Structure 1
Amino acid sequence: MTAKTNIPDFFIVGAPKCGTTALDHHLSQHPEIFMAKKELHYFGKDLGMKQDELTKEGYLAHFTEAGKLRKGESSVWYLYSKTAAQEIKAFNPEARIIIMLRRPDEMIPSLHGQFIYDADLAETNFELAFQQDLNRENQPIPCFNFENRPKFLEAASYSEQVKRYLDIFGKKQVLIVLHEDLKLHFEATYRKVLDFIGVSTDFIPDQKQVNARKDIKNVSLHHMSKEPPKGLRRVFRFVVPYKPLRHKIMQQVEHLNVSEQQASSVSPEMKLKINDLLKTDVLSLQQLIARDLSGWLK
């Protein structure tokens, strides 16, 4: 298969914690769709993500098994990136863009939990972490995955991010999917996505929950398992010289230190604070996508 035919047809660009993993999973079950490994983040050079940089050939290699299937890729920070939309447009001008959005007073607490799990944040108390974020101003915060971790409010300020994709791709190539649509009206929303992608709409996937919220039992141990200190790494390599076994041990440590949990409750006062801070953005988004989002502010 040539590199040209490996080019993805559609992208799920985010936002994080808005149902992208679930949609990716459900689309991957469709017999006419091939989904690449999630979170490749080949585009979005401005994000400063700390991962091995993919070459174009390396990126396209993720689609070599797709054959004639419609090819999709999901990376949740493409929406937040100021450059990813233009980079994707240059890569495939005909690409279809799927944007998933969730009410900020649910998305932000969930993102806080994800940052902890990814070792990008140590403060487990959401309200304290949120206030620390507000106090950061323009101070860069390097972490495990980013040279400068995105702020909560910036990640949930959707209107400018959505407008960027609409301006670059046009309305016909962009589909907005709200988290509540997928949750409350799954089959109708799923068929709408399939029609947008250009595949048969008569397939209904397994709807089991994916990417459940994770509770870290010991944050310090979790962060150490993600990025062990150099001295500990040297000792570990000496004691366990076989690399695959070291990897298996660290995976087991992480597994034992993580459990699934229900979404933690956020106080009404905290929800009100988030909604007040993002009210202007929500109203702008409402007008931009022609959807009633007044429920997001209640």
Structure 2
Amino acid sequence: MSDSNSYATNPVLSDNETMAIGHRPTFISIGPGRCATSWLHQSLEAHAEIAMASVKETEYFNTFYDRSAAWYESHFKSHAPAVGEISSNYYLDPDVAKRIRDYDPSIRIIINLRNPFTLLQSFYNFGVRRGMELNSLAQSMDVPIGSLMGSGFASRKKRNSLTPSDTVTLLDSVCLHDRLKPFLEVFPNDQIHFFIFEELQYDWQAALSNAYKFLGVAADFEPEGASQIVNSSVVPKSKLVARLATNTASLLRSVGMYRLLSTLHRSNLVKKILFNSNKEGSELSNLRSTLDPTVVKRLDAQIERLKAMHRPLNKLWKED
């Protein structure tokens, strides 16, 4: 879940309402958020051979699975060699992997990866950015990830319709090996691509080129502005600013003004006026020292399993 263009807070078409005939996606990025999903979405959308969904996160396979496949496919209005979406909270729901496999066993899966410690910090910081009243990070392990990331959590809670993706705790949300296991069990290795957050710091061109290759499109394309960070870590200048930004984003989503919302997210002027920059997770060793030893032990175990699963992580995930 993220503050991106999601249907979670929007009025949606019912199956009885007229829908444009759409296309079947060929790939899905399942998250997590705060792992360069916004940057990836922008880079995929810019490619002439890739057609992205009309909203960044359809949330069909978790929040709106009671709707029809036709409703889902109506979000994919353009045909291209690669057609897909990014829904950053799919990885949180253990039922989503089988649902996607049942929909199309040949579909390609992109999984974003980030060191669980810095991902933990980033999720927490995002809650602060949204103006939430939170205890320290160490005391927030049981906070529901849905409440931190927004995307309709409050409205679903009022309707008593929270999903499994909403109620996973902050700590459980960053236990990535556990969360990704259902996908690794039902999809073969050649249909899974790991997009690693830390690789962008060293060679973003190679990371993006490899993603393009995985999708079967021209790999030498470089989108304009790709060297700029999208949705970077910032902290609000005040709680009032945080609430104003959150409420404005919700209002723009509710009336379907996704392009304006995306433009505001990317605006350096808006960030300069409303936020201060925040170098989250810059000292991994310091972050570890602030957490309960049982949390550190659990996340270390997750990291070792992830490294065994994907060997390039051994070079990219090193303790400061």
Q: TM-score, normalised by structure 2?
A: 0.70
SS in 1 for 2:33: coil
User: Aligned partners of 1:269 and 1:262: how far apart in 2?
Assistant: 15
Question: Is residue 275–residue 297 contact of structure 1 (8 Å, CA) maintained in 2?
Answer: no
- The percent of aligned pairs where both chains have the same amino acid is 23
Question: Is residue 29–residue 88 contact of structure 2 (8 Å, CA) maintained in 1?
Answer: yes
Report deviation, 1:117: 4.0
Report deviation, 1:259: 1.9
Residue 10 of structure 1 is matched in structure 2 by 27
Residue 263 of structure 1 is matched in structure 2 by 279
- Check 1:280–1:297 CA distance in 2 against 1; reply closer, same or farther (3 A cut): farther
User: Aligned partners of 2:274 and 2:207: how far apart in 1?
Assistant: 32
Letter in 1 for 2:49: E
Letter in 1 for 2:119: M
Question: Is residue 282–residue 293 contact of structure 1 (8 Å, CA) maintained in 2?
Answer: no
> Gaps (5+ residues) in structure 2?
1-18, 154-161, 249-254, 265-269
Residue 222 of structure 2 is matched in structure 1 by 204
Q: Which of 98, 102, 112 matches 1:86?
A: 98
SS in 1 for 2:90: coil
Report deviation, 1:87: 1.2
User: Aligned partners of 1:259 and 1:122: how far apart in 2?
Assistant: 17
Matched, 1:163 2:205: no
- Check 1:8–1:106 CA distance in 2 against 1; reply closer, same or farther (3 A cut): same
SS in 2 for 1:23: helix
User: Aligned partners of 2:211 and 2:145: how far apart in 1?
Assistant: 36
- Check 1:101–1:77 CA distance in 2 against 1; reply closer, same or farther (3 A cut): same
Residue 48 of structure 1 is matched in structure 2 by none
Residue 29 of structure 1 is matched in structure 2 by 46
Report deviation, 1:41: 1.2
SS in 2 for 1:41: coil
Question: Is residue 16–residue 76 contact of structure 1 (8 Å, CA) maintained in 2?
Answer: yes
User: Aligned partners of 2:57 and 2:234: how far apart in 1?
Assistant: 18
User: Aligned partners of 1:9 and 1:141: how far apart in 2?
Assistant: 28
User: Aligned partners of 1:61 and 1:288: how far apart in 2?
Assistant: 35
> Gaps (5+ residues) in structure 1?
46-50, 229-242
Matched, 1:103 2:121: no
User: Aligned partners of 2:66 and 2:128: how far apart in 1?
Assistant: 24
Residue 235 of structure 1 is matched in structure 2 by none
User: Aligned partners of 1:292 and 1:185: how far apart in 2?
Assistant: 14
Question: Is residue 7–residue 92 contact of structure 1 (8 Å, CA) maintained in 2?
Answer: no
Question: Is residue 235–residue 275 contact of structure 2 (8 Å, CA) maintained in 1?
Answer: yes
- Check 1:52–1:9 CA distance in 2 against 1; reply closer, same or farther (3 A cut): closer
User: Aligned partners of 2:313 and 2:236: how far apart in 1?
Assistant: 36
Question: Is residue 279–residue 297 contact of structure 1 (8 Å, CA) maintained in 2?
Answer: no
Q: Which of 191, 195, 214 matches 1:173?
A: 191
Report deviation, 1:31: 0.8
- Check 1:118–1:173 CA distance in 2 against 1; reply closer, same or farther (3 A cut): farther
Letter in 1 for 2:178: E
SS in 2 for 1:211: coil
- Check 1:172–1:287 CA distance in 2 against 1; reply closer, same or farther (3 A cut): same
Matched, 1:57 2:77: no
Residue 73 of structure 1 is matched in structure 2 by 85
Matched, 1:133 2:141: yes
SS in 1 for 2:42: helix
Question: Is residue 30–residue 205 contact of structure 1 (8 Å, CA) maintained in 2?
Answer: yes
User: Aligned partners of 1:107 and 1:293: how far apart in 2?
Assistant: 17
- Check 1:61–1:151 CA distance in 2 against 1; reply closer, same or farther (3 A cut): same
Give the paired residue count. 261
Judge which range, 20-29 or 108-117, deviates more: 108-117
User: Aligned partners of 2:117 and 2:45: how far apart in 1?
Assistant: 29
SS in 2 for 1:93: coil
Report deviation, 1:173: 0.4
Report deviation, 1:129: 3.7
User: Aligned partners of 1:186 and 1:142: how far apart in 2?
Assistant: 29
Residue 307 of structure 2 is matched in structure 1 by 286
